[in-house]
Homo-oligomer: A and B are copies of this chain.
């Protein structure tokens, strides 16, 4: 890191978000003290701040976060820095930026599969701007690593994924300097396996177990500094300037021409997402799309066909899919990453960390719920709403019709934080004309009367079942309100409360999702701390589904129109709704 900081990193510390800066990612986030020492040496932070390490209110947290302007992405969950760098390198290529992405990895971290997703994609796309340095110090948190000081396995893996690789002495500055020079000139990504001794130069620390994450006592610190020859406390390093002057890149701006769908025709929301994505691409030069090798299922292929340069095929590597999106937004792009909703569960840690990275990006999951039909439970997202609601600052959207899906897609591109759109495999009737407006945090009351015995709150495929239930009940003289809760988080608390007030305190929530963490929980959260909350009956998927037609599976799960109507009838007759499970 000393060689990097003094001779190879091109960086303007005064303008950390400048697009021409090299990127520096500590994939081994627990080496934060080293990173902060570099910031200090570069003059970015002062001594007093350095001494706030890990204290309440300090920007110098236990692991790096973008609370510090020189940190692009939060790390600390291992194996996530290098995949983020893949996103940065892809963005740099698109934006024609002459920068390098330097990534420090731990050797324990090389056990994470996400590292190899990154190696694979970087190799395939020849992302020569990536220079990974593996700190092969032999010792993990609780003992030796698998390969210990044998660098060959790491180098062989990197080469097998199409990288240059070199094993070197991580304490030999001249060798490091030469290796960096070669890496900077290479046409492939480079992996430098640096053999190091943890705690080098201090007799009681060097290559010793039991020191991971431990601080020295004052006395030990004194002894250690003496052994190191009492290095000067005020080391100041001048960093090289960025390779090319930053010119502000203003993304091309055009008009967003919303796709239009005729009310009553049947269009899948996933298809409308694809249409809107294409329209967004024409309107905004900063929008990029990432695919988990299912673009013909998510309909992101509509964007690909219109603008292949801003479409990134990440193949079936969902962790890399999300991390690449996180990396791309660091350079000012606005990524949409799409795959089957169920498979975002593969990248939940990456989504969680994206929120800690203060990333702004859109995730779009198709094939939600049992309504996908025959493919069976492995392909059905039944926990995605739970997962995405429990992400800090997230937005969770679940449109019921093509018009809504298209408009929400447009809004996602300007929304802060992690925004998740859940789309449906099956075609569903278009409910709204193109003049309809959809606010995030809003809802639509589709059926209402002064005599409503209950309000059915639904979203996505179950809204159409709710509308069918309304029709069934109407024939029986039973009036029920039907609300489209397309915005799951934030939820339209005003409308939900009005429903409770005006419909006899009787709500029925229907969702194509497990009963936990989804729409039912979101509705109950509205009434947190409120006196006299309404009765909330919940229809959700309680048994493990199998294969079948969408209609069969909706009915078997108890979330079809017939089940909704039955729940409302129980209320209408003065009974209670179905209980929890």
Q: How many residues of A contact B (CB 8 A)?
A: 116
A514-B390 CB under 8 A given contacts A160-B160, A526-B580: yes
| 16 cross-chain CB contacts under 8 A | A57-B548, A79-B316, A111-B316, A112-B113, A112-B318, A113-B117, A124-B146, A345-B348, A356-B378, A356-B544, A390-B517, A489-B516, A517-B517, A525-B580, A528-B578, A528-B579
Binds B, one of A60-68, A93-101, A178-186, A459-467: A60-68
Which chain A residues in 316-334 approach chain B with CB under 8 Å? 316-320
B76 A379 Cβ-Cβ under 8 A = yes
The answer for the CA separation of A378 and B517 in the assembled complex, in Å, is 22
A355 to chain B, nearest CB (A): 8
B375 A146 Cβ-Cβ under 8 A = no
A61 B113 Cβ-Cβ under 8 A = no
A378 B77 Cβ-Cβ under 8 A = yes
Chain B residue contacts of A114, Cβ below 8 A: 113
The answer for the CA separation of A528 and B515 in the assembled complex, in Å, is 10
Which chain A residues in 28-80 approach chain B with CB under 8 Å? 29, 54-58, 60-63, 65, 67, 74-79
Indicate whether A524 reaches chain B with its CB closer than 8 angstroms: yes
Known contacts A56-B547, A62-B379, then 19 further A-B pairs from the complex at CB < 8 Å, ordered by chain A residue: A55-B548, A65-B376, A76-B379, A108-B315, A111-B117, A111-B120, A140-B315, A156-B156, A318-B349, A342-B349, A382-B392, A386-B386, A386-B390, A387-B387, A392-B514, A517-B517, A528-B538, A529-B537, A533-B536
Binds B, one of A233-241, A257-265, A295-303, A424-432: A295-303
Residue from the set A142, A319, A529 with the largest chain B CB neighbour count within 10 Å: A529
Per CB-CB distance, the 7 closest pairs between chain A and chain B, nearest first, are A113-B113, A76-B378, A56-B548, A529-B577, A386-B390, A156-B160, A528-B580
A14 to chain B, nearest CB (A): 24
Chain B residue contacts of A576, Cβ below 8 A: 529-531
Binds B, one of A281-289, A436-444, A549-557: A549-557
Chain B residue contacts of A387, Cβ below 8 A: 348, 383, 386-387, 390
Q: How many copies of this kind of chain does the complex include?
A: 2
Indicate whether A5 reaches chain B with its CB closer than 8 angstroms: no
A296 B112 Cβ-Cβ under 8 A = no
A546 B115 Cβ-Cβ under 8 A = no
Which chain A residues in 390-426 approach chain B with CB under 8 Å? 390-393
Indicate whether A161 reaches chain B with its CB closer than 8 angstroms: yes
Indicate whether A169 reaches chain B with its CB closer than 8 angstroms: no
* CB-CB nearest in chain B for A316: B111
Indicate whether A130 reaches chain B with its CB closer than 8 angstroms: no
A556 B65 Cβ-Cβ under 8 A = no
Chain B residue contacts of A536, Cβ below 8 A: 524, 527-529, 533
Indicate whether A353 reaches chain B with its CB closer than 8 angstroms: yes
Contact check: which of B29, B116, B489 meets A378 at CB < 8 Å? B29
Indicate whether A141 reaches chain B with its CB closer than 8 angstroms: yes
Indicate whether A242 reaches chain B with its CB closer than 8 angstroms: no
A383-B390 CB under 8 A given contacts A343-B349, A521-B525: yes
B112 A115 Cβ-Cβ under 8 A = no
